């Protein structure tokens, strides 16, 4: 059996390309940007979460080792 | 000769039905997360013959995905088989045979070995099996398309969840509940591509 695999070397799409490929009205652009900002904030919080949950564990281990 | 295809362009040949919509959104999110640019026949406007425009769109894309997972009869009276997807796959295969360096096509299915019965002429071609799930679509996209700094499936799933949560507001703004509507498609792509840069900020 044969299944193709594509190795993508093309650069990531730029904002200019996105504007050209998927044009939308200014109003919708603003609305989507608000969603993107909200989602990015959510993603940032999500990424920080494991760090804060690991820290108490580390502290506990250090304390028990001492 | 047509111009060279967009090296990031992926023509999505999928069924346009409600039951498939979550997988359709997964395709859009997954492709964008891999830095690719999805295209859909519903983007096509204008008065030319639809088939000619679809062929132009296939030619303009370096890759195409042909999802044959819903080959059964549709439920609307009078039940008819879905011929559009195999038809567009046939056009794509011809184009690729004539221009092997300009196009690569992938066949997708939800069930292993079914393709051998539904389109036995494709025997020897190994389809991507997505199991009819969002996770499966994202997993198989990562397996079919390789690039540096690929997001993990959980990262892609997170973005999928966010994009999916925006659907109702996108529907309201565009006055439709059709996932495959041109305006909805454009907004889903823009949103998915904007969230890509979160993981991989441009240099």
In this predicted complex, what is the ipTM? 0.81
Q: Is there a domain that residue B99 lies in?
A: yes
Q: Is there a domain that residue B58 lies in?
A: yes
Shortest distance between the Cα of B72 and any Cα of chain A, in A, equals 24
Q: Is there a domain that residue B56 lies in?
A: yes
Count CB pairs under 8 A between chains A and B: 95
**What's the pLDDT tens digit per position in B64-96?**
999 999 877 766 777 777 788 899 999 999 999
Taking the Cβ of residue A56 and every Cβ of chain B, the question of whether any pair is shorter than 8 Å is answered with: no
Cβ contact A32–B200 (<8 Å): no
The rounded distance, in Å, linking the Cα atoms of A31 and A23 is 14
Strand B104-109 and strand B61-67: pairing?
Answer: parallel
Q: Report the DSSP beta bridge partners of residue B40.
A: B12
Mean pLDDT of A49-60: 48
Do B28 and B195 touch, CB atoms closer than 8 A? no
Is the pLDDT reported for residue A44 higher than 90?
no
Taking the Cβ of residue A45 and every Cβ of chain B, the question of whether any pair is shorter than 8 Å is answered with: no
The range of the structural domain enclosing residue B139 comes to 6-199
* Per-residue confidence (pLDDT) for residue B166, from 0 to 100: 96
Is the pLDDT reported for residue A60 higher than 70?
no
Residue scoring higher pLDDT (B154 or A53)? B154
* Phi, psi of B124, deg, nearest 5: 100, -15
Q: Is there a domain that residue B110 lies in?
A: yes
For A28, nearest residue in chain B (alpha carbons): B173
Q: How many domains does chain B fold into? A: 1
Q: Is there a domain that residue B1 lies in?
A: no
The rounded distance, in Å, linking the Cα atoms of B193 and B93 is 28
For the purposes of burial, counting CB atoms within 10 Å of the CB of B107, is it exposed (0-12), middle (13-18) or buried (19 or more)? buried
pLDDT band at A58 (very low <50, low <70, confident <90, very high): low
Taking the Cβ of residue B182 and every Cβ of chain A, the question of whether any pair is shorter than 8 Å is answered with: no
Q: Is there a domain that residue B127 lies in?
A: yes
Residue scoring higher pLDDT (B81 or A42)? A42
Residue scoring higher pLDDT (B112 or A3)? B112
Is the pLDDT reported for residue A9 higher than 80?
yes
Q: Is there a domain that residue B148 lies in?
A: yes
The rounded distance, in Å, linking the Cα atoms of B89 and B77 is 26
Shortest distance between the Cα of B75 and any Cα of chain A, in A, equals 32
Q: What is the mean pLDDT of each run of 10 residues along chain B (203 residues)?
A: 88 93 97 96 80 92 95 72 88 95 94 86 89 96 92 93 96 96 96 80 51
Q: Which residues of B touch A7 (CB under 8 A)?
A: 146-147
Q: Is there a domain that residue B80 lies in?
A: yes
């Amino acid at each position: 059996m044969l299944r193709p695999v594509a190795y993508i070397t093309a650069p990531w799409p730029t904002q200019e390309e996105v504007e050209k490929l998927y044009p939308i009205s200014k109003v919708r652009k603003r609305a989507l940007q608000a969603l993107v900002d909200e989602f990015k904030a959510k993603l940032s919080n999500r990424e920080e979460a494991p760090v804060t949950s690991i820290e108490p564990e580390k502290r506990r281990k250090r304390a028990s080792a001492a | 000769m047509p111009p060279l295809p967009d090296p990031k362009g992926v023509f999505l040949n999928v069924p346009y039905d409600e039951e498939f919509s979550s997988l359709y959104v997964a395709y859009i999110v997954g492709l964008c997360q891999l830095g690719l640019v999805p295209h859909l026949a519903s983007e096509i406007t204008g008065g030319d013959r639809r088939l000619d425009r679809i062929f132009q769109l296939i030619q303009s894309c370096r890759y195409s995905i042909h999802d044959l997972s819903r080959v059964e009869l549709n439920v609307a009276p009078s039940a008819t088989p879905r011929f559009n997807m195999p038809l567009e796959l046939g056009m794509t295969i011809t184009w690729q045979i004539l221009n092997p360096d300009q196009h690569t096509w992938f066949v997708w299915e939800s069930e292993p070995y079914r393709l051998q019965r539904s389109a036995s002429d494709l025997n020897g071609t190994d389809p991507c099996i997505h199991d009819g799930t969002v996770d499966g679509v994202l997993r198989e996209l990562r397996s079919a398309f390789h690039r540096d700094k690929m997001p993990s499936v959980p990262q892609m799933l997170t973005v999928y969840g966010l994009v999916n949560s925006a659907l109702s507001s996108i529907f309201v703004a565009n006055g439709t509940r059709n996932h495959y509507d041109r305006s909805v498609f454009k907004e889903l792509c823009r949103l998915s591509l904007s969230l890509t840069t979160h993981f991989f900020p441009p240099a």
